[in-house]
Structure 1
Amino acid sequence: MKSVLEYRDYHAFMQDYYDSRKKSGAFSWREFSKNAGFSSSNYLKLVCMGKSKLSKVKTAQVAKAMGLIGHEAEYFEQLVIFGNAIKDSVKKTAFLEMSRIAQEHKVRVIDSDAFQYYESWKYPVIRELAPMMPDAQPRKIADECKEYVSAEEVRDILAFLVKAGFLKKDGDKVYSQTEKAVVGSPEALPIAIREMHKEMGSMAVRAVDRYNASERYFTGMTIGVNEETYSRIVDEINICAKKIAAIANESDNLNQVYGLNFQLFPFTNKIEGESHAKH
């Protein structure tokens, strides 16, 4: 599903959200409305059909139900104002605010021509690290990485990141990010990001013994699920990931690069036959 920043019609965004949830598991208009705090089971369906509108209070409730936080929630609020406005002056003010938010929080979507970015941890790490180290030589950047990377590799990676538009040069050895976030397109995800997940997983295993508890955080649990609970858990992880990204983007005084991996995978086969309730 597209980012809310790409929408100009809040009815369309809400409908796409519903359709996306419906495809990934059991989801209904009743559940959608309930999650947003409405007693009417078809209220949000009427909104999506254009037969009802969202008030300011209802807008906040719906944004929270859809997992929108930070700038995404702000954008959705302006999107609703824009869609509901009758006066051109109100529409213009809302649209300008939408444009400002979208511009400040641009997300780079990697397409099939930029698979190289996902070939190694080195690309995203150096994309984050280089802007923190103005005027630093490639050797110095390489030395600050916990995993081994050569100065020559750093030089080549920086050249690629600039050429591909992930970084821009503000001086001879001064870099800044062109967008705050990078995500993979549906075309790139199946092949490229799978390899990145493998590499990041291996690095996480090494981190268990490599760093003390004050430098790294690990937790885990073993749980029973079905298709519906799995879908709900994934939604919660996505919401949590957005909140963490928003926290990271709030500060400009950054001094270290961390990796964060969410892992949810099966330990067993599905048990066929009667459902098994917890006792």
Structure 2
Amino acid sequence: MNRILQYQDFRRFLQDFYDWKKRTSAFSWRDYSKMCGFTSPVFMKQVCEGKANLGKKATIKVADAFGFVGVERDYFFSMVMYAQAKTDEKKRFAFAEMQSIAKANKVHHIGAESFKYYDSWVHPVVRELAPAMPGAMPKEIAKKCIHEVSAREVKESIDFQIEAGILKKTGESTYTQTDKILAGETQSLSLAVRSMNRQMANFAVDAIDRFSAEERFVSGITMGVSNDAYGKIVDALRKCREEVQNIILNDGKTEQVLRLNLQLFPLTQKIEGAENEK
């Protein structure tokens, strides 16, 4: 099976090890739990299925059972922290540790570039502005941004996107997008996408006072709904997003960079017994 440094999900690693052992021997979940020093015969099964977590002592037991030392041990601890952290701040710290260890050991994680792209509002804005301003220097692109960004940050973003294959350089300070639409809703990118959505939500609040009603569109509905209606509303919002994407794909020029947030979130807890009412 693959080296642990090639994984980003510790549960997947533990499951793959079990599957490998099962194929090559009469290995059981009881054997797995015993190997890792646990008395419960199903503990490792529950961990792999996400029904149980690894505490600090349990993490050490599993690391010892696999004989992890040095960077592999550090990586395993970071991977467990990343999966089980309750705050985005701790998740980001653990993920950064994982990426640092992997890079130092020349292990490339698929999706690492995508994570970096969605981690900051600067990258998607530069991705739109740079092709729309042929010949412009990073300082000129930075000045076009409503929110503060330095020329250095713009240059670093352009260099990163060229290396990642998001932008393509076609001439002196001239760029094109390799794809018109990028998607970022996969589970592996959830942390970075949450960061992006948080930044953009703050910009949306700022836009209420910064721009006139003619320059922005802000609208909302406060509503009481059933679970069935909620599903239908989400489906309608997805279709709306797809229609907007089609408009973008058929638009041949960029005169301004905008952000569209589709937000639907609870304002109350669930009402007990409401599902039984006619």
Query: Per the shorter chain, which TM-score range?
Result: 0.5 to 0.7
Aligned counterparts of 2:113 and 2:146: Cα–Cα separation in 1 = 29
Contact 1:112 1:187 in 2 (8 A): no
Identity of aligned residues (%): 44
Q: CA deviation at 1:112?
A: 4.2
Contact 1:111 1:184 in 2 (8 A): no
Aligned counterparts of 2:188 and 2:148: Cα–Cα separation in 1 = 26
Q: Quote the residue 2:149 is aligned against.
A: 149
Aligned counterparts of 1:198 and 1:190: Cα–Cα separation in 2 = 12
3-state SS in 2 of match to 1:191: helix
Report Cα offsets for 1:60-101 as digits up to 9, x if no partner.
xxxxxxxxxxxxxxxxxxxxxxxxxxxxxxxxxxxxxxxxxx
Moved more, 265-274 or 203-212: 265-274
5 Å-filtered alignment, 1:177-256, equals 177-184=177-184, 186-256=186-256
Contact 2:115 2:189 in 1 (8 A): no
Aligned counterparts of 2:235 and 2:131: Cα–Cα separation in 1 = 32
Spell out structure 1 runs of 4+ moving beyond 3 A.
274-278
Whichever residue aligns with residue 141 of structure 2, its letter is I
Q: CA deviation at 1:248?
A: 1.6
Q: CA deviation at 1:247?
A: 0.8
3-state SS in 1 of match to 2:229: helix
Q: Quote the residue 1:263 is aligned against.
A: 263
Aligned counterparts of 1:226 and 1:154: Cα–Cα separation in 2 = 46
Alpha carbons of structure 1 residues 133 and 274: separation in structure 2 relative to 1, 3 Å: closer
Unaligned runs of 5+ in 1: 1-109
Instruction: Give the TM-score normalised by structure 1.
Output: 0.58
Q: Quote the residue 2:38 is aligned against.
A: none
Q: Quote the residue 1:8 is aligned against.
A: none
Whichever residue aligns with residue 117 of structure 1, its letter is Y
Unaligned runs of 5+ in 2: 1-109
3-state SS in 1 of match to 2:171: coil
Q: CA deviation at 1:274?
A: 4.1
3-state SS in 2 of match to 1:169: strand
Q: Quote the residue 2:176 is aligned against.
A: 176
Q: Which has the bigger relative contact order, CA under 8 A and spacing at least 6?
A: 1
Q: Quote the residue 1:120 is aligned against.
A: 120
Q: Quote the residue 2:51 is aligned against.
A: none
Larger Rg: 2
Alpha carbons of structure 1 residues 112 and 226: separation in structure 2 relative to 1, 3 Å: farther
Q: CA deviation at 1:185?
A: 5.0
Q: Quote the residue 2:132 is aligned against.
A: 132
3-state SS in 1 of match to 2:168: strand
5 Å-filtered alignment, 1:68-87, equals none
Q: CA deviation at 1:111?
A: 2.7
Aligned counterparts of 2:253 and 2:118: Cα–Cα separation in 1 = 26
Q: CA deviation at 1:225?
A: 1.4
Aligned counterparts of 1:133 and 1:274: Cα–Cα separation in 2 = 55
5 Å-filtered alignment, 1:47-62, equals none
Q: CA deviation at 1:187?
A: 3.2
CA RMSD, Structure 1 to Structure 2 (Å)? 1.7
